[in-house]
Amino acid sequence: MRPLLGVLVAAAVVGAAASAIALSGAPSPDAPTLVGPSIEAAVAGGPSSSAEATAQVRPPAATVAGATRVGSRPPVVDHGPRTGNRVALTFDADMTDGMLRNLRAGRVKSYANLRIVDLLEREQVPATFFLTGKWVERYPDLTRRLADNPRFELANHTYGHLAYTGDCYDLPRVPAKGMTEDAAKTFELIEPYGGRQTRYFRFPGLCHDAAALSALAPLGLTVVDGDVVSGDPFATAWEPIVRAVLDNVRPGSVVIMHVTEANAAMTDEALPHILAGLRDRGLVPATLSEVLAAT
């Protein structure tokens, strides 16, 4: 699983090394605001004062999908029950400072694959999107479109796609004392969009260790890895993506794909074949919360 993900990470870092000044994209007038003072205060306490952090980070509503007990180390799930016929299609929306520089310099046209969203909407396919905060800031209109679709769930993929462990391919690392804040401010960026909010969280590169999980304990979330890696980052043909998914998908599977366009240019071509293959196998796409809750 790791080598396939590593392709994305390595190329993202090449982009990051490219040049110049970071940008935050064109802010929308009604774009949500950044970190609240409550998060700053919670993080100032540091990882050793988790009780204090628990008291100050805004807890999730208990009814939100993926919400877990605040203060306890979050569970990590790969897939749902192997019964039934549901599978979760998940799409990561990575965004790094290097990717933002590529957009600003015109080296890359888009990291938002509208053809994927168009297809899912047209076919009325449920899906779950793991959004980085920087992607949300860059694409507020598309974020709103995702939130407005009752078949789509929104989840958290960190703020700027930094690593939460010291050994995660070549991804730059979020400071150890900044992990809680990084995840918390991403929830705060996504939540104003409404729709089907969740408390699901996916680490960049799926890299996590005990310290990273403990840092997320104040946030009352569920960590979601996945059991089917599509290998879509930087694919040059759609067939291997289709094979990787259909050869491995089973009831309860969580399929990892990307909606990052330039960094996953074949995903929209693979998707119709994946949907057809799922139908042939009697498998039905559902949201992550439905797949994980299935019995």
C-beta of residue 254 within 8 angstroms of C-beta of residue 55: no
| Residues of this chain, 224-253, that bind Zn ion according to CB under 5 A | none
Of 92 and 227, which CB lies nearer to Zn ion in the complex structure?
A: 92
Q: Which is nearer to Zn ion, 6 or 71 (CB)?
A: 6
Q: In angstroms, give the least distance from the CB of 45 to Zn ion.
A: 28
Stretch that binds Zn ion, among 39-47, 92-100, 111-119, 279-287 (CB under 5 A): 92-100
Give least dist CB 48 to Zn ion, A: 29
CB of 9 to Zn ion, least distance (A): 8
Tell me which of 66, 77, 86, 92 binds Zn ion, using CB under 5 A: 92
d(CA 171, CA 70): 28
Query: Looking at 93-101, 115-123, 136-144, 273-281, which segment touches Zn ion (CB under 5 A)?
Result: 93-101
Q: Is 97 in the site for Zn ion (CB under 5 A)?
A: no
- Pick 111 or 238: Cβ nearer Zn ion: 111
Binding of residue 261 to Zn ion (CB under 5 A): no
Among 286, 289, 283, residue whose Cα is nearest residue 88: 286
- Burial class (CB within 10 angstroms; exposed 0-12, middle 13-18, buried 19+) of 30: exposed
Q: What are phi and psi of 60, to 5 degrees?
A: -75, 155
Q: Which lies closer to Zn ion via its Cβ, residue 125 or residue 257?
A: 257
Tell me the window of 30-38, 50-58, 117-125, 201-209 that interacts with Zn ion (CB under 5 A).
201-209
Using CB under 5 A, which residues numbered 265 to 294 contact Zn ion?
Answer: none
| Residue at 191: amino acid letter | E
Give buried/exposed letters for 216-237 (b at 16+ CB in 10 A, else e): bbbbbbbbbbbbbbbbbbbbee
Closest distance between Zn ion and the C-beta of residue 242, in Å?
A: 21
8 A C-beta contact, residue 267 and residue 240:
no
Among 88-96, 115-123, 170-178, 285-293, which window interacts with Zn ion (CB under 5 A)?
88-96
> Quick one: 42 or 271, whose CB is closer to Zn ion?
271
Q: Token match 């804040």: residue?
A: 181
CB 170 within 8 A of CB 35: no
**With respect to Zn ion, which residue has the nearer C-beta, 204 or 218?**
204
Please tell me whether residue 94 binds Zn ion under the rule CB under 5 A.
yes
Distance, in Å, from the CA atom of 50 to the CA atom of 62, rounded to the nearest integer, reads 20
- CA distances from residue 157 to 20, 41, 204, 294 in whole angstroms, order as listed: 25, 22, 7, 23
Q: Who's near 205: CB < 8 A, 6+ residues apart?
A: 2, 5, 6, 8, 9, 163, 168, 169, 171
**Burial of 124 (C-beta count, 10 Å sphere; 0-12/13-18/19+):** exposed
Q: Which residues inside 24-53 make contact with Zn ion, applying CB under 5 A?
A: none
Q: How far is the CB of 158 from Zn ion (least distance, A)?
A: 8
Among 62-70, 185-193, 200-208, 248-256, the segment contacting Zn ion (CB under 5 A): 200-208
Interface positions with Zn ion (CB under 5 A): 92, 94, 204
